[in-house]
Structure 1
Amino acid sequence: MHRLLELERIGQAVNVLFLTLLAAVMFFPLYYVLVVSLTDPGEYLQKKIVLFPQQWSFEAYTYLLSTEAFLRSLGNSSFLATVGTVCSLAVSASLAYALSWKKFVFRRGIMLLILLTVLFSPGIIPNYLLVRELGLINTHWALILPSLANGWTVILLKNFFDQVPAEISEAAAMDGCNAFRTWYTVVLPLSLPALATFGLFFAVGYWNQFFAALLYLNNPAEWPIQVLLQNMLLSASNIDLVAPGQQVETPPTEMLKMASIIVAIVPILAVYPFVQKHFAKGALMGSVKG
């Protein structure tokens, strides 16, 4: 018995050591990016590889946040993340709630169409032709309207609404609430965990818009942060962030790249703690029908 307890402790110690090393390996790239972005430019030019800087500096961030192109791209991504998330939640939740009604005549047919969109994708070319015919090229709506409702999201939200007791809606109707008021004042507050979870998914997706932005946005002024970041990372030298004629001392290229990466991931990291308490509950509530 004592021998088994010893082996169990050794196994637990090995697991802890392995997971700690794995976490360190995964965390190190982010740590290095953050450290380089905060290193004094003079020290970075001397050492090139900095793990524990002696002098800290926000010069790279100050430079980025003073440039018109970078601020504009942040604004574009913020617009996509906020407006796109609100619109996607409104459409997906409304459709899912309608499909959860047992008295809705066309619910089976619409569910079949939604399942077909999950199984089959039209592809890049049909999507591009659709966006072009709608006149959405070089507009942010080209990144929002085609992806308003996701099939999996609608199905999971429908399963969540199926679990809401019908007696609640019946009681609201007896109190004089119509269908819309019941949905807005009764069902939506009960759906906060699911809406917070899928809202986070939508926000991350819109904030990280990249491939669709490359296809539909030809004007650099409309680029979100991810497209501008890709151009900065691929550029051998600093891209033209500063307006013509503006005299600004430019930090080293690598420092700007590292700082831009940190700025691009901070907003999502800042939003996550506010929805964390709803995340696990919301993700599970709509995943099992019962």
Structure 2
Amino acid sequence: MTIPAPRLSPPTSPKNSSQNSSQNPSQGAPQGQEDQSKRTETVALLIVVWLVALVAEFVHQCLSVIASLLNCDQLLAQAREQAADTLAGTGQDLSDSLIQSAAYGSIILSALFSFAIIAVLAWMLWSFNKPTKRAGTARRLWFFFSLYFGIRIVFVFLLTPAGSKVPDWLFVLDGSVQIIVGVAAVMGLFFSSREETLDYTGELEQMREMEKELQKARREREEEERQKSREEKLGELRQGSKRGKDGKDSNDGQEDKDSSGFRWPPRSKGGK
């Protein structure tokens, strides 16, 4: 009895292994590269313009804080007038330190609120950059703020500084930054409404599923209405056939009665 010799497969060369890896590049691709491949040119441009708007808005808020600090004397004067009008009938007066604290506190609180909004927008933009479940929410939030930034451009040309100690170059620089924010936001409105963006965030698929559900509900409602009308017609036909049967039975009874009372030959008038 002879035992067959086992067959040995030839060793794979590094060239063949490199060819196999080149044929299946998606197997070893990281998640970040797959996310980048899902993006279209519209989504990439949208991220860029919203990033420009975010950075320019941060610069605008910084310039606004600087302008408020330079114009703090006017703010203190307004605070003193308001305090005097409020405490006119009481005979009391607020100290300058308290008024200054209130003025600087209002500037700080306003700046913190503005920077908090910028932080939220930055977080939403980061969520939109990664195709996560919050991408649709981020797009809608940025769409709302893009509308606000676009409308704010009008006020840049309408408002004129009066009675302020802020230098003109600071107003010009701040206005230019706001224009950049508005233009980038308007471009973001255009790109965020495209079909590619909605497909990227998954909202297009949700809209299609919602449309299918609405169509299904409409078909079910129409089917129920047809079934109801069919049942009503059948009921009418049954009632009509029942009335016809009752009428036929009454006619048959009348004929039987007439036939039972019929005599032949008929009686004469004299009773013979």
Asked whether the two chains share a fold, i.e. TM above 0.5, the reply is no
| TM-score after normalising by structure 2 | 0.28
TM-score (norm 1): 0.26
Q: Which has the higher helix share?
A: 2
Please say which structure displays the higher CA radius of gyration.
2
Higher RCO, 1 vs 2 (CA within 8 Å, ≥6 residues apart): 1
